[in-house]
Amino acid sequence: MTRMRITTEKPGARPLPPVYMATSLGGATIPNPMLTASGCAAAGRELDQFFDVTDLGAVVTKSIMLKPRSGRATPRMAETASGMLNSIGLQGPGLDAFVDTDLAWLKRRGARAVVSIAGSSVEEFTKLAQRLRNTDGIAGVEVNISCPNVENRGLVFACDPLAASAVISAVRRSTAPGIPVIAKLSPDVTDIVEVARAVVDAGADGLSMINTSLGLVIDTQTMRPTLAGVTGGLSGPAIRPLAVRCVWQVHAALPTVPIVGMGGIRTGLDALEFILAGASAIAVGTVIFNDPGAPIRVLHELQRELGDRGFDRLSDAIGYAHRPHGVPAEPTADESAGDDEAAPGDALAGREHKEHRG
């Protein structure tokens, strides 16, 4: 097969502006904010045909459970007007096979691997984390708490602050210090800030948001639900405003906690929305299914959008939308020397201001 690898932007494109893109993933620094969303790029091996996966901030692997699982009955994917509904049901080879194949490949390849884990009890999450503790080559652990808790009538962990914090505290205790534990939150709750606070208090170093939102499609020909599992998780552009709202609310309440923002990102401008709302990293998922080069394309587009707005560091743009017009980020020692320089983002703030007045 011919490999079409994306290494730079299109021929003739302007060179990328020199924006410092490094960011924090809860105690660990990664060279840029672009991650793959769990479940949308397996372990990155297929994407490596299209671009160098070591160029990503990190590859987040599909959520892995202790034992192999075949997932839900088919059909388990349905298209919607601006997104996709899936009920894959955490199909996977189980932890041992994952460590020996996918994780081993990521390690050999030199990619930063964030391993997503999923369980149906606190004990299962603990066993997963303990086993990963003895495995090197892991840049972080993402904890998918959007799974039913068999010990509490199948209530999804992420919808119950107490159960969510029990999982995170067990995973944090079982994970090596220095390896970030990132809790992945569900938007299907009344108060996402309450859940975020609970998992951060329990030891989460960062938050990933959002997981898919529960939806249902009915086939008007058969007049029955399209998915065999009836309901499924909605992803793609349809959920982007919902995701940006979640990031905004959690950043406002917990401004120092790193957030990986995701939900319907397809372009650099979409990614910028999440950064301005308070995300310090972003992940792309559904878009990968029709554009496998999207992670690197969106990363380049984001860098360009930041440069065009006068930012020379990604970190200055994080949460920018929360600041009133004309209030720049806290200057660093070397920046305060050049008082005549325009504050990062002034170009955009000025433009928006004029447009609103007009």
Ligand X SMILES: Cc1cc2nc3c(=O)[nH]c(=O)nc-3n(C[C@H](O)[C@H](O)[C@H](O)COP(=O)(O)O)c2cc1C
How far apart CA 327 and CA 324 sit, in angstroms, is 6
Q: How far is the CB of 166 from ligand X (least distance, A)?
A: 18
How far apart CA 35 and CA 59 sit, in angstroms, is 6
Residue list 166-205, contact with ligand X (CB under 6 A): 184
147 catalytic? Reply is yes
Q: How far is the CB of 101 from ligand X (least distance, A)?
A: 17
Taking the CB of residue 145, how many other CB atoms lie within 10 A of it?
Answer: 30
Pick the piece of the chain touching ligand X (CB under 6 A) from 49-57, 218-226, 281-289, 332-340: 281-289
How far apart CA 348 and CA 125 sit, in angstroms, is 45
Q: How far is the CB of 116 from ligand X (least distance, A)?
A: 5
Pick the piece of the chain touching ligand X (CB under 6 A) from 18-26, 36-44, 119-127, 217-225: 36-44
138 binds ligand X (CB under 6 A): no
Among residues 349, 261, 331, 247, which one has the least CA distance to residue 298? Answer: 261
Among residues 347, 321, 316, 312, which one has the least CA distance to residue 331? Answer: 316
Using only C-alpha atoms, what is the Rg of the chain?
20
235 binds ligand X (CB under 6 A): yes
285 binds ligand X (CB under 6 A): yes
Q: CB under 8 Å to 53, separation ≥6 — which residues?
A: 44, 47, 59, 106, 109, 111
Pick the piece of the chain touching ligand X (CB under 6 A) from 4-12, 192-200, 221-229, 280-288: 280-288
Burial of 157 (0-12, 13-18, 19+ CB in 10 A): buried
- For ligand X, the closer CB: 117 or 329: 117
Looking at 32, 63, 169, 175, which residue binds ligand X (CB under 6 A)? 63
Binding site for ligand X (CB under 6 A): 37-40, 62-63, 84, 86, 88, 90, 116, 144, 184, 211-212, 235-236, 239, 262-265, 284-286
